[in-house]
């Protein structure tokens, strides 16, 4: 691993950090991340696609003046039919893109728009050369450049549509009888122009993927406790507020288990802070195993205080889950010579379970759990109180 990525060792295992360390020079992630990235890129490029389709329609119709200036009737009428036909397709695709009611169609609509412009431009140029050899062919390159930079396509998509446009241009010019040496010269110019566009598109997508990985990793780190890997207090507050509203809508209960490591100061004093950190990591691992469902959450609130947020379970099951946690920590058999409660490391657990109602603040759940935890510690520790 290069030196500038050595810091990733401090945040692994993590799918974003792992992919950054592994690299993505072929512009491809592992399957789950690739799917997530494509969804992200699609959302991120919606506004770009909207601006591009309007701009493309304007430029496409602006070239109508070139047609009128350089081509005379009756051939001009054929060019106008092609140009207006492509414009109608652009308006149709543009309307769907602007409305954004079908996100999955964004890429196909973009490809259809670029493809129609490219094929239309190739046909117009080939027809125009039949009457005026000085009719500009560079419009084909403009379409390809738009595919690489202005539509938000991935490199493989931009390459495919640009290759199709170049192939159509060469075929139309050949059928139109353009001299071979001039056709060769035009194609070489267009190919090198596409090469420049492809390199630029590669770099843009590479940086887009890098930004995606780093931004997602920073989001994870911002919500994660660095010692245990559990969610932190900031993440917990946000999730509690969100689940409280969801539980209110769905009329289900929400349970909170507040956990405190018994006599942890004495543990640090006796075994040292490094051993204390390792003990907290072991406790965090136990709590993490108890929050495997999508809406559950294990949290390190700070110091030796932890919490487990459980969605859609009742008071009896919440108490049982708390007892299972207490027993699992005790079964770790971490010696605790400084404890007056047990010979091994233990936790006290306060359990609260509420069904959110209108006008009820979610802070109430935390207050009930905190009161139960206080009683568990006051009654001798290493126990669960509801």
Rounded to an integer, what distance in angstroms lies between the CA atom of residue 368 and that of residue 353? 8
Rounded to an integer, what distance in angstroms lies between the CA atom of residue 65 and that of residue 281? 71
* DSSP secondary structure letters along 40-101: HHHHHTHHHHHHHHHHHHHHHHHTHHHHHHH--TTHHHHHHHHHHHHHHHHHHHHHHHHHTS
* DSSP secondary structure letters along 230-243: SB-HHHHHHHHHHH
Cβ contacts of 268 within 8 Å, gap of 6 or more: 275, 276
Please give the helix or strand (H or E) that residue 298 lies within, else none: strand 297-302
Rounded to an integer, what distance in angstroms lies between the CA atom of residue 299 and that of residue 291? 10
DSSP 344: B
Query: CA triplet 117, 121, 127: central angle to 5 degrees?
Result: 150
Instruction: Give catalytic residues, as residue numbers.
Output: 304
CA neighbor of 345 nearest in space, from 304, 300, 288, 299: 304
CA 26 to chain centre: 19
CA neighbor of 16 nearest in space, from 1, 30, 26, 4: 30
Cβ contacts of 159 within 8 Å, gap of 6 or more: 198, 201
Note whether 339 and 263 are within 8 A (CB). Answer: yes
CB atoms within 10 A of CB 59: 14
285 three-state secondary structure: helix
């Amino acid at each position: 691993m290069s030196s500038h990525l050595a810091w990733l060792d401090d945040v692994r295992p993590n799918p974003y950090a792992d992919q950054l360390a592994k690299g993505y020079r072929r512009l491809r992630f592992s399957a789950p991340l690739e799917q997530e990235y494509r969804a992200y890129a699609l959302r991120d490029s919606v506004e770009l696609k909207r601006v591009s389709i309007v701009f493309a329609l304007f430029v496409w119709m602006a070239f109508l003046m070139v047609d009128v200036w350089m081509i005379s009737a009756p051939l001009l009428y054929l060019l106008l039919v092609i140009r207006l036909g492509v414009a109608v397709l652009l308006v149709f695709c543009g309307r769907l893109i602007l409305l954004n009611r079908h996100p999955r169609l964004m890429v196909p609509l973009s490809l259809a728009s670029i493809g129609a412009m490219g094929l239309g431009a190739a046909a117009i140029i080939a027809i125009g050369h039949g009457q005026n050899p000085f009719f500009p062919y560079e419009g084909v390159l403009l379409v390809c450049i738009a595919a690489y930079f202005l539509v938000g396509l991935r490199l493989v998509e931009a390459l495919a549509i640009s290759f199709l446009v170049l192939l159509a241009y060469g075929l139309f010019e050949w059928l139109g009888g353009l001299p071979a040496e001039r056709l060769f010269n035009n194609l070489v110019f267009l190919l090198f122009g596409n090469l420049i566009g492809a390199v630029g598109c590669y770099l843009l997508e590479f940086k887009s993927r890098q930004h995606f990985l780093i931004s997602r990793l920073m989001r994870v780190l911002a919500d994660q406790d660095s010692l245990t890997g559990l969610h932190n207090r900031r993440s917990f507050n946000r999730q509690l507020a969100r689940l409280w509203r969801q539980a209110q809508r769905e009329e289900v209960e929400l349970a909170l288990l507040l956990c405190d490591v018994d006599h942890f100061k004495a543990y640090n004093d006796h075994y040292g802070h490094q051993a204390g950190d390792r003990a907290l990591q072991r406790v965090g691992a136990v709590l993490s195993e108890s929050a495997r469902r999508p809406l559950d959450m294990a949290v390190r609130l700070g110091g030796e205080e932890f919490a487990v947020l459980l969605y859609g379970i009742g008071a009896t099951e919440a108490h049982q889950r708390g007892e299972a946690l207490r027993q699992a920590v005790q079964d770790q058999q971490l010696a605790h010579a400084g404890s007056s409660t047990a010979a091994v490391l233990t936790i006290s657990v306060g359990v609260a379970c509420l069904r959110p109602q209108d006008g009820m603040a979610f802070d109430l759940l935390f207050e009930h759990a905190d009161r139960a935890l206080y009683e568990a510690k006051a009654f001798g520790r290493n126990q669960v109180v509801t």
